[in-house]
Amino acid sequence: MLRPEILSPAGDPQKLRIALEYGADAVYASVASFSLRTRSAREFDLSSFEEAIAYTHEKGKKFYATINAFPFNGQIEPLKRHIQTISKFKPDAFIIATPGVMSLAKEIAPEIEIHLSTQANVMNYLDAKLYHEMGAKRIVVAREMSLKDVIKIKELVPTLDIEIFVHGSMCFAYSGRCLVSAVQTGRQSNRGSCANDCRFKYELYAKNPESNTLFRLEEDPEGGTHIMNSKDLNLSAHIDEIIKSGVVDSLKIEGRTKSEYYAACATRAYKMAVDDAMSGKFDAKIYTAELNTLKNRGFTDGYLVSRPFERTDTQNHTSSLEEGTHQVHAISEDGEWFKCKFKIIPNEIYEVVAPLGFSIQNSKNEIGEVFNENGKIWLKFSKIETKKGKILDEIHSGNENEFRSVAKLCKFSFLRKEI
């Protein structure tokens, strides 16, 4: 079976390191120019972007640079300079959305692969073949595409790599082609500054043009007012089926603007799913439970296995955000000292979230104890000791002091508790 690549979002240098630590085979990121995620792209300047690419390569992993915005005429010359600059850092591919920018990139940096962005809306083998002939090594297919159509493309264009989204935010509009943000706030989604207006609450009104009477439509209390809010994509239960199709080269996780824990948890869950599918031990309940720990908008398996017109569960009309099953309480960047993300209280038991394969022996000392139970690692503090040697009764997220771990854990370990 073809083992697909796990491609994770790198919203900033820290999330990049976390994604790689938790099992990503590749990451994608950008600087602020010419990207559809300008907010996360601002987390990198040219220097840190170059360092991020070098760090990823040191880890033996791949780095894809996104240049997937839609430029106007006045931006072409700056775009040329941008491609020239980024190409010197030697990313493994450019993610590009338009034929013109593809052509420009091939002219300036022919040695760097082109991956066609999902924004290009490839839905059939004719378009896939044409883009491949134009120089695209890989296409990121539209989220609306079915697995049957992906299989057909691979059959007819076998040298083309195919990448699919498996997790993350879904757009209410067709493949992100939305004007609501531009109309309401002047922020253009296809130039990287979407205001996520589809996540807002809305009230519905009716107007009589003859009398100019305006009245609000009363809604069923269960109906909700988040009328454009899409649930989040979650294809973890279908990874076995996707791998067995033999046509998908890369599994992409959306979420450059999401949390450090999201980067860790989502990457870890899909690595677990891929590992288990490859070894014949696939169990969807495990990955579903893990991903349910994340904050989300409700989950849907989208359109890969069901046609859009067959779906009735892709919208969440009552809320734009739902709490996950767990709360993250702390993170340790080096495995020895924690930073509080919520609250830590002595004698409370916290679950340790670490990269797959990490193990530790049961131990107990004056700081607390760490122990294994039911296949998980748990930690309990007897006391909270800061780096400055101060002993605290408890610690909350507003306190910036790092505090000592009970035992040496791996880098970027998290502590969480079920809500």
What would the pLDDT profile of 94-131 be if each residue is shown by its tens digit? 999 999 999 999 999 999 999 999 989 899 999 999 99
Chain centre distance of CA 121: 19
Q: Is the pLDDT of residue 41 over 60?
A: no
Distance of CA 258 to the CA centre of its chain: 7
Span 209-260, pLDDT tens digits: 888 888 776 666 666 677 777 788 999 999 999 999 999 999 999 999 999 9
pLDDT for 395 equals 97
Q: Which structure tokens are listed for 93?
A: 């591919």
Distance CA 332, CA 343 (A): 14
Helix, strand, coil abundance in the chain, percent, nearest 5: 30, 25, 45
**Residue 226, number of CB atoms within 10 A of its CB:** 20
Residue with tokens 């209390």: 221
Residue 255: what are its φ and ψ, rounded to 5°?
135, 45
Give the 3-state secondary structure of residue 148.
Answer: helix
Residue 11 carries which side chain, given as an amino acid letter? G
pLDDT at 143: 86
Among all chains, which residue has been given the structure tokens 């610690």?
395
pLDDT of 375 over the 70 cut: yes
| Residue 178: exposure state from Cβ atoms within 10 A (0-12, 13-18, ≥19) | buried
Using the predicted structure, report yes or no on whether residue 309 has a pLDDT greater than 60: no
For tokens 């002993």, what's the residue?
Answer: 391
Distance CA 35, CA 76 (A): 14
- What local confidence, expressed as pLDDT, does residue 95 receive? 97
pLDDT beyond 70 at 370: yes
Average pLDDT value for the chain = 90
Share of the chain above pLDDT 70, in %: 88
As a whole number of angstroms, the distance between CA 321 and CA 306 comes to 24
Please, which residues have CB within 8 angstroms of residue 55's CB and are 6 or more apart in sequence?
A: 16, 17, 20
* Alpha-carbon dihedral angle through residues 269, 151, 164, 251, given to the nearest 10 degrees: 30
Tell me how far apart the alpha carbons of residues 72 and 257 are, in angstroms, rounded to a whole number: 25
**Residue 121 tokens, joined:** 């809306």
**Range 248-273 average pLDDT:** 97
Contacts of 209 (CB under 8 A, 6+ apart): none
**Helix axes of 99-108 and 76-87: crossing angle, nearest 10 degrees:** 50
**Structure confidence by residue, pLDDT tens digits, 150-204:** 999 999 999 999 999 999 987 766 666 666 666 677 666 665 667 677 777 777 7
pTM more than 0.85: yes
Number of other CB atoms surrounding residue 313 within 10 Å: 11
Q: Are 267 and 216 in contact (CB under 8 A)?
A: no
If one counts every other C-beta atom within 10 angstroms of the C-beta of residue 280, the result is 7
Of 142-146, 318-322, 338-342, give the range with the top mean pLDDT. 338-342
Residues 6+ apart with CB under 8 A from 201: 225, 226, 320
Q: Supply the DSSP string of 68-86, one letter for each residue.
A: -S---GGGHHHHHHHHHHH
Measured distance CA(359)–CA(194) in Å, rounded: 42
What pLDDT was estimated at residue 219? 63
Are 415 and 329 contacting, i.e. CB atoms less than 8 angstroms apart? Answer: yes
